[in-house]
Amino acid sequence: MSEQNEMHELLENFEFIKIYPGRQIKGTVILVERDKALVNFGYKSDGIITKDDYTMDDVEDLRDILNIGDEIEAVVASNTNDDGNILLSRKDFEEQHKWDAIVELMKSGETVTVKTVNSNDSGVIAEFNGFSGFIPGSHLSKGRNAVPADFVGKNLEVRIIEARMKNNKNKLIFSRKVLEIEEARVREQQAWETIDTKEIYEGKVNRVVDFGAFVEINGIEGLLHINEISWNRIKHPSDVLNEGDVISVKVLKKDLERKRMSLSLKATLKRPFELFTENYNAGDIVTGKIVSLTDFGAFVEIDNVQGLLHVSDISWDMVKHPQDVLKVGQELEVKILAIDSKKERLSLGAKQLSEDPFVKYTKNLKRFDVVKGKVTSMTTEGVVVELAEDIEGFVPTKLVSKDKLRTPAQILEKDQEVECKITDINRKSKTIKLTMIIENEADDKKDNRVENLSSYTLGDDNFTIGDLFTKK
């Protein structure tokens, strides 16, 4: 074959490749040394790539990461060197690929791990895939007062929030706070799903405010309103709770959409009336404090339970207005008259602590007994006689004297000591009727029937018609 034909065959089998700086090529490694490698990529000259131009990572020996026969991608850095080889660079190619990957990570929102290497007043410098980035101080943590220096030398999971070219330089911004907020939201959602209404949970008091307290349960806060803190009325939540207290609360309501939860502390406690009935019974004598006064009586508080002391049970004497004899804040002894557990009502009495003066005075008296007293007032109707302290009797004018009188004042004076005979004792109405006309003993015996019935009066609760016929 002639030389002309051989040249023609060579030209037909040879693929012409246009080489220029920046062109991307693919080739096969044909030689690897410590600091460089030769790459055949179908050109008349082989390409040469140095260790420093091969990767962005720190490599001591190129043979540790590259083998003969490996296929690599690179870009043309220069047409030829002194030996006539094409200078290649994989570092720039790798940098672009890694940067493109970083941009994709930012778009997808994936979590990446960076290593922090330095800090300043504004934040922390961190490295990722050969690039240097920055974590602003406001993005170090969702908590306040994060100190940048405390994060240096650590591997941190972050989110890429900015990756762009600015003034021919890569700008890379990371955020740790974004991840923490998202993680907190996930935990919060899980917590909301695990909390059930009407159930009791242990919680921590985070804040105490005028209208209640915020209590944290499983990482989420609920409102404990002041009305749900205690069965008793309180002026301020701080009277019962302090920040940091661990308490048991019942979940009254929860709103997943609005992320709100209503709690109750008192719902976990026994009602005051329930506790009261465990410790007291009707008939017990207790000490209480008057908390309010009304026209019909006084409300007395005993062990956080209020009972009614009716105006009729304040004293054996007639009391028109409770405020005439009692005052708010006064402590007094009372007797428990009745306990209504169903309606949670408590009836109290003060006069029941002593014997009824009328009953005490008349206990051993009967009709026709003679008693002494003092005239306290007189009218044309008759005379009021004081028989004992707070005990009075009445003498009609016609029974003041055998003589006919227009008024008792004709023969009596106020404060005059007199003797009277009992004509009637009515223990129901608490009245005593008297006469100053005292018959002598012979006259009393004359009417034997009346004497035999002397212990029965029409006003006496124990008197019956049957008793009358029996005596007859």
Give per-residue pLDDT as tens, 160-217.
Answer: 999 988 777 889 999 999 999 998 888 888 888 889 989 999 999 999 999 999 999 9
pLDDT of residue 257: 85
Q: How far apart are the first and last CA of the chain?
A: 177
Q: Tell me if 408 sits within 8 A of 397, measured CB to CB.
A: yes
Question: Strand 123-128 and strand 131-136: pairing?
Answer: antiparallel
Question: Strand 260-264 and strand 220-225: pairing?
Answer: parallel
pLDDT at residue 254 tops 70: yes
Residues 6+ apart with CB under 8 A from 311: 295, 296, 297, 319, 320, 321, 322
Q: Where are the beta strands (DSSP E) in 231-302?
A: 246-255, 260-264, 285-294, 297-302
Which is it for the CA torsion 379, 380, 382, 383, positive or negative?
Answer: positive
Question: Would you state the CATH architecture of domain 95-180?
Answer: Beta Barrel (2.40)
pLDDT of residue 256: 85
Range 13-89 classified under CATH 3.30.70.920: no
Residue 82: pLDDT band (50, 70, 90) is low
Q: How far apart are CA 154 and CA 75, in angstroms?
A: 35
pLDDT at residue 433 tops 90: yes
pLDDT of residue 95: 80
pLDDT of residue 81: 64
pLDDT of residue 467: 45
Record the tokens describing residue 41, joined without a space. 């990529």
pLDDT of residue 3: 52
pLDDT at residue 8 tops 80: no
pLDDT at residue 80 tops 60: yes
pLDDT of residue 394: 96
Residues 6+ apart with CB under 8 A from 217: 191, 195, 201, 202, 203, 249, 251, 261, 263
Residue ranges in 258-376 assigned as alpha helix (H): 272-279, 357-362
Residue 436: pLDDT band (50, 70, 90) is very high
When pLDDT is averaged across residues 93-100 and rounded to a whole number, the result is 83
Residue 146: pLDDT band (50, 70, 90) is confident
Q: How far apart are CA 34 and CA 36, in angstroms?
A: 6
When pLDDT is averaged across residues 107-131 and rounded to a whole number, the result is 92
Which is it for the CA torsion 434, 435, 441, 444, positive or negative?
Answer: negative
Q: How far apart are CA 236 and CA 266, in angstroms?
A: 15
Q: Tell me if 247 sits within 8 A of 215, measured CB to CB.
A: yes
pLDDT of residue 73: 87
Record the tokens describing residue 389, joined without a space. 């302290």
pLDDT of residue 2: 53
Provide CATH code, domain 272-353.
Answer: 2.40.50.140
Domain ranges of the chain: 13-89, 95-180, 195-265, 272-353, 357-470
When pLDDT is averaged across residues 120-140 and rounded to a whole number, the result is 92
Q: What is the pLDDT of residues 278-331, one digit of tens each?
A: 999 999 999 999 999 999 999 999 988 999 999 999 988 888 899 999 999 999
pLDDT at residue 118 tops 90: yes
Give 3-state DSSP helix, strand, coil % of the chain, rounded to 5.
Answer: 25, 40, 35
- The CATH fold of domain 357-470: OB fold (Dihydrolipoamide Acetyltransferase, E2P) (2.40.50)
pLDDT of residue 316: 85
Higher pLDDT, 285 or 464: 285
Residue 5: pLDDT band (50, 70, 90) is low
Q: Tell me if 295 sits within 8 A of 336, measured CB to CB.
A: no
pLDDT at residue 458 tops 90: no
pLDDT of residue 454: 40
Residue 335: pLDDT band (50, 70, 90) is very high
When pLDDT is averaged across residues 361-373 and rounded to a whole number, the result is 91
pLDDT at residue 153 tops 90: yes
Provide CATH code, domain 195-265.
Answer: 2.40.50.140
3-state secondary structure of 88: strand
Please check whether the two domains, 272-353 and 357-470, share a CATH topology: yes
**For the chain, what is the mean pLDDT?**
85
pLDDT of residue 298: 94
Q: Say what percent of the chain tops pLDDT 90.
A: 56
